[in-house]
Amino acid sequence: MRKITALLLLVISPVCIVFGQTASLHIHIATKKIQTYFDLPSDPGNDTYVVSRIDSNTNIHTLKINQPTFVSVLFLDPEPGRNQSFNYLFYLKPGDNIFMNIDFAKPGFGIEVRGKGSINNQPLIALGSDITYSFHRDTLPDRAINVINAAQKTKENNLAEYIKQYQPSAKFIECWKLNLKYFASDLYYSFKEDNRLYVFDAYYRNYDKWKKVNDSLFALIKLNNDDALNSYHYTNLIATFLEREMEHFSDEDYLHPIAFYKDWYGTDTTNGKKIFNSDKKNLVQEKIINRYFTGKTAEYLYNLLLESAKNNANPVNIPAIFERFKEKYPNSAYIPKYSAWVQSIVEKEKRTLNTNMVFLNGNGAAINSMDELLAMMKGKTLLVDMWGTWCGPCREEIEKNSAAIRKKYAGKDLQYLYIANYDLSHEEQWKKMIAYFDIEGTHLLANQKLTDDVFAKFKVRAFPTMFIIRKDGSYELTRAGYPTDITLLYKQLDEALAQ
């Protein structure tokens, strides 16, 4: 699953996502064009993240919960030039039945909340926005942390006023105080890590300053805290921590390889690189979990690891990781959630290459341009997939659609070309994935010249990218988009075959 923005990320405690009573949200939006994105808790049989985008006036969501739970919703006006948005952090209890009216044309978005549970969900405490957006690309942390600290103080004052005005329950006060305890560390860490990617060189020139602020905030909290697992800002923080610390492995591999491989892999650089390069995601996440977390928090993060691997069609090391997870948590409610999927991985890993998987001479690495590709495929109608073994969305699309497309066009004059990009040093992994995903068709490993030339022709640079080559040598991008609109793709392929 891909993250839309920091506002959208919602992580829910394992103890909150089991079958129980229901809570309902009825949201009416006066303007039809407003989009709503829900991040909802779910039971262990479903994904932790459920994001829906709805353009209608009224939408109703029913949640199964067994204790008070935070749910974040983003409301967005997509009209060009307006870009108005806000997020709302609901505090829901079993049995709540909340009705919310919104009008973007009115001050304060015209928010009205009523119904059972509304006393805990008034705008004074629930309304929020992305306060760090304007500081992206800052090379120093000063402006961002000052705004975050001010927002922390405002939130605390709002909570005090809320308690005085609405007299909520003791449980509400307890949950919100714990949530606000992680507010500043969550916002700063998420901002720092996002911004690092925009100002990479400047960030590392000023690394000590960014780290000093982060250390001061982390000194005020417990990073491993089972008691905070129903806090929105805590679960958001540890999910972001798991994702971003995984990215830091590549930094350390480049900056401090000897110390890095000794510390994290217990070996020298040569052997450590082999292990790291074979799996830069699943095994790395497990290492981070085991170093920094224990108890229910570690169990919950294992769930995020497995869910991410499942959503990104990334089977590498998953059976072994799942076995270790079951040994640590033999009674975990997450075991049934993943058992069938992991068994399917075990079965797929037994697959081998077959005669319908064709590899060009030298794996096609000597092909340097689109023109050479067209000359080689002259007189054929092809669906071409620019992908990579490292690309989660590419693997997702292949797993979801490749077999279905072949089945629909079986016996018809349509051929398939899969061009793997940035994979010249991953030949073994490349062929394993072709067998694992049963990708029948012609395969080549693109060199940099071919990758650059193909994308230059289409004036795009994104993975996955699919295009169609017709028999006459003309070509066009597919109009199916991402995720693939399979109906549109079929229509375009039918048109190409008809020519």
Domain hosting 417: range is: 357-498
In a domain, 337, yes or no: no
- Report the pLDDT value the prediction gives residue 13, as an integer from 0 to 100: 31
- Dihedral of the alpha carbons of 161, 164, 168, 172, in degrees to the nearest 10: 40
Kindly calculate the radius of gyration of the chain based on its CA atoms and give it in whole angstroms: 25
Overall average pLDDT of the 454-459 stretch? 94
**Confidence label for 2 from pLDDT (cuts 50, 70 and 90):** very low
Q: Say which range, 99-108, 120-129, 440-449, has the weakest mean pLDDT.
A: 99-108
Distance of CA 349 to the CA centre of its chain: 25
Overall average pLDDT of the 345-374 stretch? 96
49-53, 127-131, 156-160, range with greatest mean pLDDT: 156-160
| CA pair distance 419, 77, nearest whole angstrom | 38
Tokens of 354: 């077959």
In a domain, 65, yes or no: yes
Concatenated DSSP letters of 64-115: EESS-EEEEEEEE--STTT--EEEEEEEE-TT-EEEEEE-TTSGGGG-EEEE
Q: Say which range, 10-19, 283-292, 457-466, has the weakest mean pLDDT.
A: 10-19
Main-chain phi, psi angles of 227, to 5 degrees = -70, -15
- Report the pLDDT value the prediction gives residue 44, as an integer from 0 to 100: 56
Q: Which helix (H) or strand (E) holds 417?
A: strand 415-420
379: left (phi over 0), alpha (psi -120 to 50) or beta: left
In a domain, 333, yes or no: no
Tokens of 77: 């006006």
At residue 368, does pLDDT exceed 60? yes
Tokens of 457: 């022709």
pLDDT in tens, 221-257: 999 999 999 899 999 999 999 999 999 999 899 999 9
CATH code, domain carrying 121: 2.60.40
In a domain, 443, yes or no: yes
| CA pair distance 177, 236, nearest whole angstrom | 16
Overall average pLDDT of the 460-489 stretch? 94
- Report the pLDDT value the prediction gives residue 3, as an integer from 0 to 100: 38
Decide which of 130, 163, 178 is a domain's last residue: 130
130: left (phi over 0), alpha (psi -120 to 50) or beta: beta
Overall average pLDDT of the 66-80 stretch? 82
Angle at 312 (CA atoms; ends 396, 370), nearest 5 degrees = 45
In a domain, 182, yes or no: no
- Report the pLDDT value the prediction gives residue 74, as an integer from 0 to 100: 87
**Confidence label for 40 from pLDDT (cuts 50, 70 and 90):** low
- Report the pLDDT value the prediction gives residue 82, as an integer from 0 to 100: 61
At residue 100, does pLDDT exceed 80? yes
| CA pair distance 104, 29, nearest whole angstrom | 8
Overall average pLDDT of the 382-390 stretch? 96
- Report the pLDDT value the prediction gives residue 53, as an integer from 0 to 100: 53
**Confidence label for 305 from pLDDT (cuts 50, 70 and 90):** very high
Contacts by residues 158-166 (CB-CB < 8 Å, ≥ 24 positions apart): 158/124, 158/125, 159/125, 161/124, 162/122, 162/124, 162/125, 165/124, 166/119, 166/120, 166/122
CATH code, domain carrying 414: 3.40.30.10
| CA pair distance 407, 409, nearest whole angstrom | 6
Concatenated DSSP letters of 307-369: HHHHHTT--TTHHHHHHHHHHH-TT-TTHHHHHHHHHHHHHHTT----TTEEE-GGGGTT--S
Overall average pLDDT of the 250-267 stretch? 95
- Report the pLDDT value the prediction gives residue 32, as an integer from 0 to 100: 64
- Strand ranges of the sheet holding 465-469, from the earlier edge strand across to the other edge: 357-359, 441-445, 415-420, 382-387, 465-469, 475-477
β-bridge pairing 357-359 and 441-445: parallel
At residue 131, does pLDDT exceed 80? yes
44-48, 68-72, 477-481, range with greatest mean pLDDT: 477-481
In a domain, 472, yes or no: yes
pLDDT in tens, 403-433: 999 999 999 999 999 999 999 999 999 999 9
Task: Report percent pLDDT > 90 for the chain.
Answer: 77
- Report the pLDDT value the prediction gives residue 499, as an integer from 0 to 100: 83
For the whole model, what pTM was predicted? 0.88
pLDDT in tens, 307-358: 999 999 999 999 999 999 999 999 999 999 999 999 999 999 999 999 999 9
In a domain, 309, yes or no: no
| CA pair distance 244, 192, nearest whole angstrom | 10
Decide which of 130, 147, 175 is a domain's last residue: 130
Tokens of 124: 């004074």
At residue 89, does pLDDT exceed 90? yes
Give the number of residues written for the chain. Answer: 499
| Cβ neighbours of 385 (radius 10 Å) | 25
Decide which of 95, 130, 165 is a domain's last residue: 130
At residue 279, does pLDDT exceed 80? yes
How many folded domains does the chain comprise? Answer: 2
Tokens of 232: 């929105």
At residue 51, does pLDDT exceed 80? no
Question: What is the rounded average pLDDT for all residues in the chain?
Answer: 90
- Report the pLDDT value the prediction gives residue 385, as an integer from 0 to 100: 97
- Report the pLDDT value the prediction gives residue 59, as an integer from 0 to 100: 78
Q: What's the one-letter identity of residue 223?
A: L
- Report the pLDDT value the prediction gives residue 347, as an integer from 0 to 100: 98
Cβ contact 19:66 at 8 Å: yes
- Report the pLDDT value the prediction gives residue 16, as an integer from 0 to 100: 28
Closest CA to 136 of 189, 81, 197, 76: 197
**Confidence label for 18 from pLDDT (cuts 50, 70 and 90):** very low
Task: Report percent pLDDT > 70 for the chain.
Answer: 91
| CA pair distance 374, 364, nearest whole angstrom | 13
- Report the pLDDT value the prediction gives residue 6, as an integer from 0 to 100: 31
Measure Cα distances from 54 to 1, 236, 499 in Å: 18, 24, 38
In a domain, 427, yes or no: yes
**Confidence label for 41 from pLDDT (cuts 50, 70 and 90):** low
**Confidence label for 261 from pLDDT (cuts 50, 70 and 90):** very high
